[in-house]
Structure 1
């Protein structure tokens, strides 16, 4: 019987003793299997380089001959700068060591030396990080050395030695998990060889081969989990088959003050079809800022209420909850549908009354923040859960709300457009609906990137818009002045703009205000009692004031691309031409890239693609609780083709009867068993 390396304690590896098991535990490593799965995040390349082929700033390793006497400058008792001339490939360079003057006696003219450091092309200087003298002790010259993410007292040297020892002791016991047909189809290395090479590649080519194998495995197993879940649960009759009154829904849609786009009609049809099925809907609705997701969700909630059930809409902020409540009231009032708002700012009495009404079924649709998932919230018959801006909620928060009903249908919405591959990855167990078009009559927002030196012109632009009867947002990254960051803060900017525009009302909105204070300032802005609103990013999501035509963002280079796109989406909601002005530091290179992307396009999907390239998927979603899988080797931005291939392979495999019975797929079925796929719980 095969030994399960994940059941073997890590202390079985020679040398893992004393405090080391505790230090490994901080990295999430308790077993031999977990240790072997802990891959390096990069490699130090000690291959000897040709100085004519390297770029300024590269970290390089060179071999040369000492050609001078070392010169040492001391700073205080311990700090020093030592230089010495070295001949490398007939080129005289200056090697520079900081605080390594104890090496002086070893630097004898004519001796061979191997140096690793950062290359300064202009001055022909090499700032040394590591020094080796050939023939004296073990050399790492010409090798690739793994670099692990470590904490505490662990060192790279110890991790490298321990991985080597683990592979020596247990390498032959590493099981193969991929079927032979996939190994052959893609010419993949055997698993034990790939894992050994990932920890100690002999060359870059070997490392790339090993990585290709493990990337495919990781993505394939992830997709297998998703595809098996879908195959096993697609026909499961554990949800509610809502008797949707289609004529009533059509009448509701016809009575809207605008016509739905073709995209909205298509998505609504998909949702209504799901609601009528006996299994739970689990659908992601994604669309650009202003694409009209809310009205689609409202139509779905209307259908569920008409079929005798309750609906819940969970949003990340109180401002957004209050706005959704007002929108739903306008739409539902003619039909006698009762809505309620559940947030943290209710009094005890208001909360008690609301919870009683909800439990008795007197409330049809409740809108709220995470207050909806508290223990004392009960529904009479919850049929549909809608979460807006889902990536702002943790996985646990979403699943708690879902458990408040008997397997209610779930509609998840996001205005952060997600590239197709990322949607497949993060939400592989969901059906994905996308709103691509904007409602008719929307004019593209004109976006400009300017430097702080142009502030006077920006103020003139604000004056022009406000004097024409329009309104403006001014966004700052901080509430109060910070010693650490030299960025415009909301309180200072508010004071400056009050001085600059004495004839207009300038409001201030930030996260430290109470809910009632925020509500009042937003009410004043919505009714044009306040013409210029200075705010932090509290208004980023969903706030809708059609008369606002100008968005000014201070220190725009401090914001992520998708966040800037969300902010821009607060304007352009009315009939007038709207503008977005981004004030950014011209010296910030990453900021420059973002400003270029923002001025190039208004397409949220293109913005999202560039944001992923600039920031990576972890930052893109903003939180590890997003439900986004954390891969050990794969990268969702660069490995998207492998992701799509792995998904197709996994889908093909689970459709085959022999996958569920054949001996060659036993290890994959055991993997699914460990992942609890057969229990039927909804994946999060």
Structure 2
């Protein structure tokens, strides 16, 4: 028998070829897709009394028509229809706009059901929908689902079609969850939950249906992560990297600073993972400036001193060049050779680097995605460190596997995620967290000022530059926009040159070539440029210890995590640093962002508040490929369910019976469909 996943939506009565095409645009191709196209809210048509209703609220009431209707016409084809209706013993005025055709149906003494906005002071109901009980009231007394629709797909059509799909194919809905989990969490059967979420009799039933489907969604997500983790740990085809602890101790002694307790703890966790024959898959998260690069350097040194090579993959060429220079300085006493590989290199330099990697003359290569392109081969790759957005996905890992390598993987992120959320969201990864600031780092002082105070900000810039320091000035756009009334980098650069004719002021944005960006950043790093006017191209990782002032124009246009990342470009040495947010936020969320930024410089607290303000979808964004957009589940609101699902999935996949017993066949089929057994990371 065919499964719902294999049946086209054309099999549903009433779905034409045209409607099928429009459903495809919404990602609905099969009957299973349509049944899983859940409503995002409900219209409440349950009849209530006026005493329960607040002023301005939408309500459905039942009453009796008490007089003849009055029709007023005005403008072109516009009309206003009014009549008096008794509701709960109160005489109210019902008003319809552009519904003149109802005039003949509004008869004194007739019962009527009205849905609309209630105005308490005027005892008036502005009617959006109305029904007559003597002709059958289809909506009243119900919760009606509301779907995302468009084109010729209307709400009534979608409701009718899903109802028809449930009638035709509801009995074919298969149960996915084993009885033990259904009983443990007291969940309703899958078929019933799908039927009820589309047409709940009341809110309690709708909530129970949602709870079942949210658990299932989170459980299947976690099952993939935990199954991958279980399989990965059982494999022994990784690179076991064992290094003499004394080599690590000697290297740490050469550092020009003392490691924090947090760094020492995390290094021990990583080295313990690297010693195992299974592949390490660890997330290293820490606030901006918490010292992640040094931790990565120790891991890379361990790989090299065990006879293997290391790779550090970063988002931009500017950052690649900076990391290469800092690693060269760190590794000079240890005699480790560091190379650079980026897309803009000359062919000759590229050939030299590739030859060095293949022959093992280059111990560590730093670069962009160029590292995993065709033709890049290593003698013995033991560790890959990826920075920020470049979390390895299926394609990247399989490229390395096809090259005959199963390296350990360490992923670094400076977007701190609450630890429990990180463990759950990145369930296939072990998580290490850096909480301390390196010694000598002072908290960054953050101020929020209005645009009218720009002159005072310019005075602030002058004082810092005169003291030998440097400044960033960030704005949201590259050039002027007709649609947005915000400052742009090109105009601001001209403005700053006029305000400070004696200073060298650089301009940095995404339309510059890689070479031009590198030249501007090199000049800034070497203190040849006093101030850089830039877009958010400087957000990730750029390290200029002498820069002490970060000014962000139209700061309300940036998300909290992005503002915190930008702030982290300063405060990277012993000098007191400052962040100035120039903003006149009109929205409540904009004002709240400014408030959070001035109250705390703790990245974990900022991320927690960001999660509250924006929700997990925007918080993680498309860059964080490990966190999917769920249909129903909300990772913040449903966090308790997420943890339960994770624990259940971890327990199941650790049992031998899960991989063999018939009662888990359907779940194993889900994993098979996800190509889990190809051994790729599930992003």
Bigger CA drift: 660-669 or 449-458?
Answer: 660-669
Distance 1:561 1:56 in 2: 35
Bigger CA drift: 136-145 or 56-65?
Answer: 56-65
Matches within 5 A, 1:668-679: 668-679=667-678
Distance 2:26 2:71 in 1: 43
Cα 1:468–1:120, aligned 2, differ >3 Å: closer, same or farther? farther
Q: Secondary structure at the match of 2:632?
A: coil
Tell me if structure 2 keeps the 8 A contact 1:451–1:586.
Answer: no
Q: Secondary structure at the match of 1:162?
A: helix
Tell me if structure 1 keeps the 8 A contact 2:397–2:681.
Answer: no
Tell me if structure 1 keeps the 8 A contact 2:389–2:624.
Answer: no
Distance 1:423 1:203 in 2: 35
Q: Is 1:24 aligned to 2:36, yes or no?
A: no
Q: Displacement, 1:241?
A: 1.1
Tell me if structure 1 keeps the 8 A contact 2:83–2:95.
Answer: no
CA displacement 1:203-229 (0-9 Å, x = unmatched): 111100111111112222222222233
Which residue in 2 is equivalent to 1:194? 193
Q: Is 1:84 aligned to 2:82, yes or no?
A: yes
Cα 1:280–1:392, aligned 2, differ >3 Å: closer, same or farther? closer
Q: Displacement, 1:96?
A: 5.6
Q: Note the aligned Cα RMSD (angstroms).
A: 2.7
Bigger CA drift: 349-358 or 274-283?
Answer: 349-358
Cα 1:65–1:290, aligned 2, differ >3 Å: closer, same or farther? farther
Distance 1:624 1:263 in 2: 27
CA displacement 1:413-441 (0-9 Å, x = unmatched): 10001123432333211111111111112
Tell me if structure 1 keeps the 8 A contact 2:55–2:120.
Answer: yes
Structure 2: tracts of 5 or more residues without a match: none
Q: Secondary structure at the match of 1:283?
A: strand
Distance 1:505 1:120 in 2: 62
Which residue in 2 is equivalent to 1:330? 329
Tell me if structure 2 keeps the 8 A contact 1:385–1:402.
Answer: no
Tell me if structure 2 keeps the 8 A contact 1:224–1:650.
Answer: yes
Which residue in 1 is equivalent to 2:39? 40
Q: Displacement, 1:639?
A: 0.5
Structure 1: tracts of 5 or more residues without a match: none
Q: Is 1:219 aligned to 2:218, yes or no?
A: yes
Which residue in 1 is equivalent to 2:311? 312
Distance 2:619 2:432 in 1: 20
Distance 1:494 1:419 in 2: 38
Distance 1:681 1:297 in 2: 23
Distance 1:600 1:402 in 2: 47
Tell me if structure 2 keeps the 8 A contact 1:281–1:409.
Answer: yes
Tell me if structure 2 keeps the 8 A contact 1:383–1:408.
Answer: yes
Bigger CA drift: 167-176 or 665-674?
Answer: 665-674
Distance 2:189 2:617 in 1: 30
Cα 1:348–1:656, aligned 2, differ >3 Å: closer, same or farther? closer
Tell me if structure 1 keeps the 8 A contact 2:118–2:126.
Answer: yes
Distance 1:270 1:468 in 2: 42
Q: Displacement, 1:255?
A: 0.7
Matches within 5 A, 1:359-370: 359-370=358-369
Distance 1:459 1:95 in 2: 60
Cα 1:56–1:215, aligned 2, differ >3 Å: closer, same or farther? same
Which residue in 2 is equivalent to 1:555? 554
Tell me if structure 1 keeps the 8 A contact 2:315–2:390.
Answer: no
Q: Displacement, 1:197?
A: 0.4
Paired residue total: 681
Bigger CA drift: 150-159 or 116-125?
Answer: 116-125
Which residue in 1 is equivalent to 2:532? 533
Q: Displacement, 1:324?
A: 0.9
Tell me if structure 2 keeps the 8 A contact 1:390–1:412.
Answer: no
Distance 1:486 1:287 in 2: 35
Tell me if structure 2 keeps the 8 A contact 1:243–1:276.
Answer: yes
Matches within 5 A, 1:592-603: 592-603=591-602
Distance 1:502 1:214 in 2: 63
Matches within 5 A, 1:187-586: 187-390=186-389, 396-397=395-396, 400=399, 404=403, 406-586=405-585
CA displacement 1:34-61 (0-9 Å, x = unmatched): 2222212222222234455445654433
Q: Displacement, 1:545?
A: 1.3
Cα 1:391–1:73, aligned 2, differ >3 Å: closer, same or farther? farther
Distance 1:624 1:49 in 2: 46
Q: Secondary structure at the match of 2:650?
A: helix
